[in-house]
Amino acid sequence: MDTTSTAAKRDFLGFSHLDAGRIVELFDFSLFVKKQRRESAAAASYRPIEGKTVAMIFNKPSLRTRVSFEIGVHELGGYALNLDGKSIGVNSREAVEDIARLLSRYNDAIVARLHEHSIIEALAKHADIPVINALTDLSHPCQILADAFTLYEKGLWRDDIKIVFVGDGNNVANSWIELAGLLPFHFVLACPEGHLPDAGLLETAREKGAGTIEIVHDPFEAARGADVLYTDVWTSMGQEEEARERLETFREFQINERLLSVASPEAVVMHCMPAHRGEEITAEVMEGPRSIILDEAENRLHVQKAVMVKLLNHEEYRKFHLTHRLENVAGKLKH
Ligand code: CP
Ligand code: NVA
């Protein structure tokens, strides 16, 4: 978690203040909330953010993020307000620092999807309450946490897992790179020249160095032996004017049966969605047996619930891990 303006509050703007142990803790808590949701009686009585409110600012369109946060807050006992970014006018109708301070008087957390990353940093700096990054032009940490959790949950995560991102060096690729600084895995980005990821995040991740990061420009070279083939749209929100040109530039960077055939025979296919069949992924692969795309989309809900409990009721989060550890020790002593 990013720790910003006050000692007590934590934000989730990226992974910079997490380490491998804390990520696994988040995954274990996500498993707990996911399992509990299936046991509906337990879920109904579990309300760790009872009475708390979360203001959600969306300056870009969204389906998964908006719905999963809104439902997540509701299920944890809180109340979410969906604020249309246009009507608030972040840094146009009203200065970001005023929005941050004002919302801190009414709410317990802010979830924000914005363009410039520097604006979410300013929001976090001036807010007294946790700020969660729901996607910026730079990164999409909620997505990648849910994706890595999906692999963990399925028992597919290994220190030498090869995850190949085919497409644009965009916000989603940047968050994979950030994660590779903290967790040991092999990340390969196959992107056209001129569509590289963020240089600063790449440098920091390589310095942290838990995983290995390769950038190549040949999708077939990248996909050879891959355990995961991952993709995202060729044109991200805000780049619509470049869409036609991008269709041409990215033509070879498609996940299709031919590309899948050089990956590991057990490889899985992931996509953060929304997906454009016939562009970055074929309908055949998207609907095929290797696709775990809807599982990762569902997991956005469970992982974001875990993040919210960690940020909004840290005592509850800590208690869970303490009990969990004691149960593990007790289990080991029995055997
Ligand atoms: N993957 C994702 O963030 O989807 P939305 O843009 O629909 O929220
Ligand atoms: N890179 C995409 C991700 C959408 C979830 C975008 O920013 O539009």
What is the tens place of the pLDDT at every residue in 29-61? Answer: 999 999 999 887 778 889 999 999 999 999 999
Residue 275 and residue 173 share a domain: yes
Q: Three-state SS for 234?
A: coil
Residue 43 and residue 104 share a domain: yes
Ligand nearest to the CA of 64: 1
- Non-local CB neighbours of 17 within 8 Å, separated by 6+ positions: 1, 2, 3, 10
Is residue 332 in some structural domain? no
Domain count, the chain: 2
Residue 47 and residue 171 share a domain: no
Is residue 148 in some structural domain? no
Residue 312 and residue 245 share a domain: no
**How far is ligand 2, taken at its centre, from the CA of residue 237, in Å?**
6
pLDDT classification of 335: cutoffs 50, 70, 90: low
Report the share of the chain in percent with pLDDT over 90: 89
Among protein residues, the one whose CA lies closest to atom 8 of ligand 2: 236
Ligand nearest to the CA of 147: 1
**How far is ligand 2, taken at its centre, from the CA of residue 8, in Å?**
31
Catalytic residue positions?
Answer: 113, 140, 143, 232, 272, 300
Q: Is the CB of 236 under 6 A from ligand 2?
A: yes
Is residue 330 in some structural domain? no
Work out whether strand 186-190 and strand 212-216 pair parallel, antiparallel, or are unpaired. parallel
Residue in 272, 279, 293, 304 to alter for ligand 2 test, most ligand atoms within 8 A of Cβ: 272
**CATH of residue 170:** 3.40.50.1370
Residue 180 and residue 93 share a domain: no
Q: Is the CB of 113 under 6 A from ligand 1?
A: no
Among protein residues, the one whose CA lies closest to atom 4 of ligand 1: 64
Q: Is the pLDDT of residue 5 over 50?
A: no
Q: What pLDDT was estimated at residue 1? A: 40
Residue in 69, 273, 281, 295 to alter for ligand 1 test, most ligand atoms within 8 A of Cβ: 273
Q: Is the CB of 273 under 6 A from ligand 1?
A: yes
pLDDT classification of 7: cutoffs 50, 70, 90: low
Is residue 182 in some structural domain? yes
Residue 279 and residue 184 share a domain: yes
Is residue 147 in some structural domain? no
Q: Using CB atoms within 10 A of its CB, is residue 84 exposed (0-12), middle (13-18) or buried (19+)?
A: exposed
Work out whether strand 109-113 and strand 131-133 pair parallel, antiparallel, or are unpaired. parallel
* Integer Cα distance of 186 and 213 in angstroms: 6
**How far is ligand 2, taken at its centre, from the CA of residue 86, in Å?**
19
Residues of the domain holding 69: 2-139+300-325
pLDDT classification of 210: cutoffs 50, 70, 90: very high
Q: Is the pLDDT of residue 330 over 80?
A: no
Neighbour count for residue 246 (Cβ, 10 Å) = 21
Is residue 333 in some structural domain? no
Mean pLDDT, range 172-185, rounded to an integer: 98
Among protein residues, the one whose CA lies closest to atom 2 of ligand 2: 236
Among protein residues, the one whose CA lies closest to atom 7 of ligand 2: 236
* Integer Cα distance of 119 and 274 in angstroms: 24
Residue 117 and residue 196 share a domain: no
Residue 171 and residue 92 share a domain: no
Residue 125 and residue 66 share a domain: yes
**How far is ligand 2, taken at its centre, from the CA of residue 265, in Å?**
28
Is residue 145 in some structural domain? no
Residue 307 and residue 285 share a domain: no
Q: Copy the structure tokens of residue 320.
A: 């869970």
**How far is ligand 1, taken at its centre, from the CA of residue 241, in Å?**
20
